[in-house]
Structure 1
Amino acid sequence: MRIIDYYNYIATAACAFIGAAAVLIYKKGKNADLDKDKKAAEISANAARVILLVIMLIAAAVRLIGLGSVPAGLQQDEASLGYDAFAIAKYGVDRNGFPYPIYPITWGCGGGSPLMIYINVLTIKLFGTGVVKLRLLPAILGIATVYIFYLILKEITLSYKKSLFGAAFLAICPWHIILSRWSLDSNIMPFTLGLSVYLFILGIKTGKTYIYCLSAASYAVCMYSYGSATIVVPVHLLLISIYCLRKKIISIKQLVMAVLTFVIVFAPLLVFYAVNYLGLPEIVTDSFSFNKFTASRSGEVFLRFDSTLPAALYENIRQLLITLTIGDNDEMLCHFIPGYATLFEFTFPITFLGIFLGVFLGKKDIVNKTSENIASANKESAEDTSKIGSVTDEDKRLAMDAVFVTLLISCVLLAIGIRSDVSRMVMIFLPLIYFLVKGVSFIWDRKNTFAYAVMAVILFAAVLFVKDYFVGFNERAENIFMPGYGEAAKRAYEIAGDEKEIYSTYENLSAPFVLALYYTDYDPVKFADTVVYKDETDEFRVAESFGNFRFGLPEDYADYVGKDAVLILSGSELEAIDGVPDCTVENFGRYSVVYGSGE
């Protein structure tokens, strides 16, 4: 076992012990630290700004340094997103030939949500294509998410210390660092979700209708971010709206206005779903398209109501519990490093403590709020309180807490109902980190030294993670990100042009055609006209050829060298061309381009 494996056992035991000790102190009524001068314990606004700046610089460093080389290469889904963005930006059609699709169907069944693609359309128009440019969007939005999370916590906890801890944890969290450094469509969801939650919390604080409408618009944009949002967001909004109506946090008029705003922003996607699931005909114009999927993923994603349901439910619940605790070592290596899970393997006892406090003990207001902060909140919201009736600041604090409770419930329901993985469950981790902060806050208010011990444990693990990520991640994930292949495909196309055949290996590759498309800036109209898929009806259509590219080597591929063909070979396949005369080999790491010396 590695150092981190031993460390996880020790740290888990320490976190469980500290959490239990804090509960025991609370039960016995020995909350000595609660009686201390909280004003002295709380840091100043100026100090908080300096600390926050340091946190943001750390967040930026671990998300931006070596962005084009760690991970090395491109994963097929990020190449797919990048290519459709390129095609729309430069040619006005996606790779399936549809002009400005509301929802580019990418692989045929989706797999690339529109928000990420269309934001990349803008960046490509401004800056062009490239690995760093493709990954810059999730990296920058990842950094922004740290700041938004700080603002959320500041509104709820009324404490600089606790808000800074939450921001610092998100800044060094393994899940969020890895997510921010490559361009899967779900990887911008923490930002869009965090922004939506923050605006809703501002609505609760101010009582202003236009802020609720802005939040509704932001939640609707979430629906364009990733498929799982189409389940989580409506359930979450339904639950929190019912709660806020009952507590008189929001009026019926305000709710109606927010719902109308949501529907207006969501309307184009609603039409797309109607075309695909309600039988409406495709709508294709020169300016926009509502086109149909070529296959459905419902069977691959959702549970089936047949004899397999009990076993599938059990497996999903088991998977959820593993994700909520020690993390799943069977996840794809593009999402985690073994030993570090998502939120570190040892934090779950304190996270569960926070969930218990938020779900079951929220009305007791266990997390202490200083009289100074309460007075400040009273002053800021006196005018808005009069508008909503007898709603107190404590009612608002509890409603803000309920935002995360209902979001967690919605994410749990999703996880039980689908075949989940880290990307599909992406919306669950912000509420989990919130409840971790809530658990640490409870400990902080019982015994300061216990909270600092937890922070020290997290900090040491974060240092180990950063070292292991930047030193060893490429080696672990090379079969996923396929380093060198894209460069080899680009060079092969430069040599062959559109005249000579290009034969590509399939060794240690997944859907190499889409990397070839992205790296060569291939004409999407030409691609749509010439592509031959292995199976047109497959959920994920994979091309076996397009133009002069052929994916898969002929058995006698060595005989093709120098005969109007260019080869892309893996290292193990180079042996077959030893001794071939007039042969040039250009190496790109694990892959090489082979062609006749006269070409």
Structure 2
Amino acid sequence: MKKNVFLVLLVLSAALFLRLINLGSLPHGLQNDEASFFYNAVSLLQTGVDEDGRRMPLYLNSFIDPKPALFSYLQIPFIAVLGKTIFAARFVSALLGTASLFLLYLLIRKLSSNPTLALLVLSLMAISPWHIVLSRSTQEVILSFFFLVLSLLFASKLFLSKNTLSRQWLFFVLTCGGSFLSMYSYHSAKLLLPLFTLGLALYSVRGASKKLIWPVATLVLQASFVIVTMFLVSGGLSRAAAVGLFSTGDTQLVLDEQIRIATATSNPLVIRIFHNKVINYGFAFSQTYFSHFTAQFLFLRGGDPTRYIVPFHGLLYLVELPLLALGIFAALRASGKKRNTALLFLSWLLVSPIPSALTTEESVSMIRTAPMLVPLLYFVAEGILFLWHEISQKSTKVALRITLIVLYTASFAYFVHQYSVFQPRYRPWTRQFIDQQLATYLTQNNDQFSQVVISKVTGQPYVYLALNDLISSSQLQDSIPARLQNEYVLGKYRFVSDGCYVGSEPEVLYVVGGTCTFTSDTPPFREIGEITYFDGAEGYRLLVSATRLEPAE
């Protein structure tokens, strides 16, 4: 027992180290969402209100995309202690990621009654590329994942253990609390968590009707949480409406084209049977759904968003491909509790891609399907244990252990190399590095210009200036609703939608896109500098007017 506790602590310590090392510089660049959470945490710490001037908000409206404010609240103590640094801003993600591993260990141990299997899954998660990237890079995703595992852990204790009535109520409250916070934190949990809980309920009941009350009560509460977080909370539906399967007309355009072509040669009844919304949208859903089970997604490239992709690397290690297949085979051919547990994890695996498949933006997603990692590594661990138990000779077992250690060490070293060397250079414009550099430049040269006109070529650069105290909290809080327009002014900084805007005013700095080309109608200008991406690609050009002022008569 003491040895097992020591190993768990050792693995968790290693996991935390892997998620904290160079956290301020990897991933490279402070992406828009990171910057938004970061600034709002600073604003709440210093002024007690968010960037819109709201006290104790539930959601942040930054960039017109509602985000759960809980993450910013969790950042506050670390920023207060560690300072206003990127490391402090990301520390919560790394801590939540590591804590979720411990909860997952307890969950696997509870469901499988196998401490060795639970420890093996914990070890695999500790070095998982998928989980490391999520723990270092995301905010609401890893927050939701933490509460999802927490909810399932207490649900398993509620459904599967014999408890006193007081403990049953305690586990019920903790299950529902974790469920609400997971759904509140990220959209995909609104669908996945009730499905996961349903699978756990079916796994636990086994025909015993007296056990139905807690699973049913939990599912009813979770359904009400979906309604609350989707329909009653401001902004709950806006994101789903923007990226949902029906949000674009692409599938409808294909359907209209099919009907137009078939009309010339086919019977109207045949057209109605084969060319309708059910079939076409079902095909679009299936195409995206099954893309999450391909080698391209799992082992070779990974998934969207682009800013999380590690070049020439998948979400799992290639060595895990045969182990995954072997684990599924071995677990499903077992009998009794082991088979039931395998079926539970298989059901979780099969439903995990559904939220991603119901979207059109970044649809083959590694963040919407983050819980998919749990059943995948469960079966990988089952594959390793199957090999171990099938081998009887001691020398062969030693060879297997050495082989796995060598393969995993080489795989992990390759991942670290790709992540630290190539990921910063892979499509760096997705991480807004140039906005950080622009804020640094303006901090050093602010007094040289009476006004700065910034083209919004990367999205919303104002938050980076605010983080560098170039824009005050009061200026930002007073800029609503003007800041929601295409063009707005914050202090001496004017933000314009034209990516190549150049005027003729003196003592004004014009920040334009690095690839801008100009015509003879453009006022004369002089280029005083440029800001490039980490890979040397053009980012911003810094221009000042070259128009000569005529002396007054």
TM-score by length of structure 1 reads 0.69
Contact 1:505/1:569 (<8 A) preserved: yes
Contact 1:105/1:293 (<8 A) preserved: no
Work out which of the residue numbers 511, 525, 537 in structure 1 matches 2:477. Answer: 525
Match of 2:495 in 1: 550
Pairwise CA distance, 1:361: 3.6
1:334 pairs with 2:301: no
1:351 pairs with 2:324: yes
Match of 2:367 in 1: 423
Moved more, 237-246 or 301-310: 301-310
1:163 pairs with 2:86: no
1:147 counterpart letter in structure 2: F
Moved more, 441-450 or 547-556: 547-556
Within-5 A mapping of 1:133-144? 133-144=88-99
Pairwise CA distance, 1:462: 0.7
Cα shift readout 1:434-491 (whole Å, capped 9, x = no counterpart): 2221222222221245465345322210111112222332122522223252242255
Pairwise CA distance, 1:80: 2.3
1:467 counterpart letter in structure 2: H
1:100 pairs with 2:56: yes
Structure 1 residues not aligned, in runs of 5+: 1-44, 276-289, 366-393, 535-542
Give the Cα separation in 2 of the matches to 1:181 and 1:592: 31
1:319 pairs with 2:291: yes
Match of 1:241 in 2: 201
Q: 1:126 to 1:272 in 2, by over 3 A?
A: farther
Work out which of the residue numbers 128, 134, 139 in structure 2 matches 1:184. Answer: 139
Aligned residues: 490
Work out which of the residue numbers 387, 399, 409 in structure 2 matches 1:443. Answer: 387
Give the Cα separation in 1 of the matches to 2:229 and 2:143: 22
Match of 1:434 in 2: 378
Match of 1:492 in 2: 442
Match of 2:241 in 1: 298
Give the Cα separation in 2 of the matches to 1:409 and 1:432: 10
Q: Secondary structure at the match of 2:309?
A: coil
TM-score by length of structure 2 reads 0.75
Q: 1:159 to 1:484 in 2, by over 3 A?
A: same
Work out which of the residue numbers 391, 411, 414 in structure 2 matches 1:461. Answer: 411
Indicate the RMSD between aligned Cα atoms, in angstroms: 4.1
Q: Secondary structure at the match of 2:293?
A: helix
1:101 counterpart letter in structure 2: P
Cα shift readout 1:46-101 (whole Å, capped 9, x = no counterpart): 44344434423322222111111112221112112223334444445444555433
Structure 2 residues not aligned, in runs of 5+: 256-279, 392-396, 546-553
Q: 1:297 to 1:493 in 2, by over 3 A?
A: farther
Give the Cα separation in 1 of the matches to 2:134 and 2:406: 24
Moved more, 68-77 or 93-102: 93-102
Contact 2:443/2:468 (<8 A) preserved: no
Q: 1:248 to 1:595 in 2, by over 3 A?
A: farther
Pairwise CA distance, 1:303: 4.7
Cα shift readout 1:198-250 (whole Å, capped 9, x = no counterpart): 22333355333132442232122211221001111122223322442334397
Contact 2:182/2:189 (<8 A) preserved: yes
Contact 1:489/1:519 (<8 A) preserved: yes
Contact 1:102/1:272 (<8 A) preserved: no
Q: Secondary structure at the match of 2:178?
A: helix
Contact 1:351/1:439 (<8 A) preserved: yes
Contact 2:94/2:135 (<8 A) preserved: yes
Give the Cα separation in 2 of the matches to 1:398 and 1:334: 38
1:414 pairs with 2:364: no
2:358 counterpart letter in structure 1: G
Q: 1:517 to 1:402 in 2, by over 3 A?
A: farther
Q: 1:324 to 1:105 in 2, by over 3 A?
A: same
Give the Cα separation in 2 of the matches to 1:453 and 1:75: 39
1:274 counterpart letter in structure 2: F
Match of 1:479 in 2: 429
Q: 1:329 to 1:60 in 2, by over 3 A?
A: closer
Q: 1:67 to 1:172 in 2, by over 3 A?
A: same
Work out which of the residue numbers 139, 143, 156 in structure 2 matches 1:201. Answer: 156
Contact 2:117/2:381 (<8 A) preserved: yes
Give the Cα separation in 2 of the matches to 1:324 and 1:71: 20
Contact 2:301/2:312 (<8 A) preserved: no
Q: Secondary structure at the match of 2:103?
A: helix
